[in-house]
Amino acid sequence: MIKMEKWDVIFCTSNLHKVQDMQCILGDQFNVIQHDVDLCEIQGNPESIIRHKCIEAYKLLKKPLIVEDTCLGFNAFNGLPGPYIKYFLVELGAENIYKLLAEFDDKSGFAMCSIGYVDENGIEIFHHKTMGDIVKSRGSTEFGWNSIFQPHGYNQTFAEMSFELRNSLSHRYHAASKLKSFLETKMQSPQ
């Protein structure tokens, strides 16, 4: 059995909750280090946004690192607000975002996480979508739109769930699990 040493993973984000989630998901063999950098956020689709974040962060730090972008999309709005959810939250708040769907029968949507890893060899991107419904705000509004997203098959919003249950279901968990597999393979390959 190969003994794996602990690897530092630089995570470019200003959001400490995301760092804590990432550390929990990646586990003890990784040390997630927050690096708060101000990256220009372009308009585009999730793929182009995460690639741009990777390139900009790597230009600044010149070290292997990860970046993340999340989306909340409404099927009634053909996937919008998508990557622009952060701006909707700032301007409207979670409860008013739910009200945008008041006149629509279809309240379904998705939470999507895109994680980009970049080093001197290029960019790798890991995505995952969790399907659910947009509901009236329930639970803590401390963490973005978690209080209005209820994953399919559950009667609780992400905000009402235990940390462990939310992490096992979340878009971030599944995208970060793909990242973890990639990093474990990278750790085992000769440099």
Domain at 37, CATH number? 3.90.950.10
Please answer whether residues 72 and 48 qualify as being in contact, where contact means their C-beta atoms are separated by less than 8 angstroms: no
**The tokens 């997630």 sit on which residue?**
32
- Which two tokens mark 110? 């998705």
The pLDDT value recorded for residue 154 is 97
Would you say residue 42 lies in a domain?
yes
pLDDT at 2 over 60: no
Rounded mean pLDDT of the chain? 92
Domain, as residue range, for 63: 7-188
Could you give phi then psi for residue 113, rounded to 5 degrees? -120, 135
User: Is the bond into 64 cis (omega within 30 degrees of 0)?
Assistant: no
Domain count across the chain? 1
Contacts of 106 (CB under 8 A, 6+ apart): 75, 76
pLDDT per position as a tens digit, 59-108: 999 999 999 999 999 999 999 999 999 899 999 999 899 999 989 999 99
Q: Where are the beta strands (DSSP E) in 83-184?
A: 108-119, 122-134, 149-151
Contact, 5 vs 28, CB < 8 A? no
Task: Map tokens 């997203």 to a residue.
Answer: 149
What's the pLDDT score for residue 10?
A: 97
Residues 111/133, Cβ–Cβ less than 8 Å? no
For residue 2, is it within any domain? no
Domain membership flag for residue 21:
yes
Angstrom distance (rounded) from CA 47 to CA 126: 10
Residue 1 forms part of a structural domain: no
End-to-end CA distance of the chain: 19
State the pLDDT at residue 107. Answer: 97
